[in-house]
Amino acid sequence: MRQVPSFGRYAGEGRCAIADYEGMMADYYEARGWDEAGCSKKETLCRLGLFLQGFSMANR
């Protein structure tokens, strides 16, 4: 079990333990439309009207 970082409102409370942290993060990223690295997927950018055809981070 992984603990939530010990700062803020719930610092030191055992009830904040997360049984499957990696699974929770994978679900969160999927819900946001991000890949496993936390970057927006092409489909997400298109849906939001932010996809630029031909743009690559390698071009920066």
The pLDDT tens digits for 28-50 are 999 999 999 999 999 999 999 99
Q: Is residue 41 part of a domain?
A: yes
What total of structural domains would you count in the chain? 1
Residue 4: the pLDDT is 59
Quote the mean pLDDT of the chain.
79
* CA gap 31, 27 in Å, rounded: 6
Q: Is residue 22 part of a domain?
A: yes
- CB-side neighbour CA atoms (13 Å) of 32: 13
Residue 20 pLDDT > 90, yes or no? no
Q: How far apart are the first and last CA of the chain?
A: 40
Residue 31: the pLDDT is 93
Residue 32 belongs to what domain range?
Answer: 14-59
Q: Is residue 32 part of a domain?
A: yes
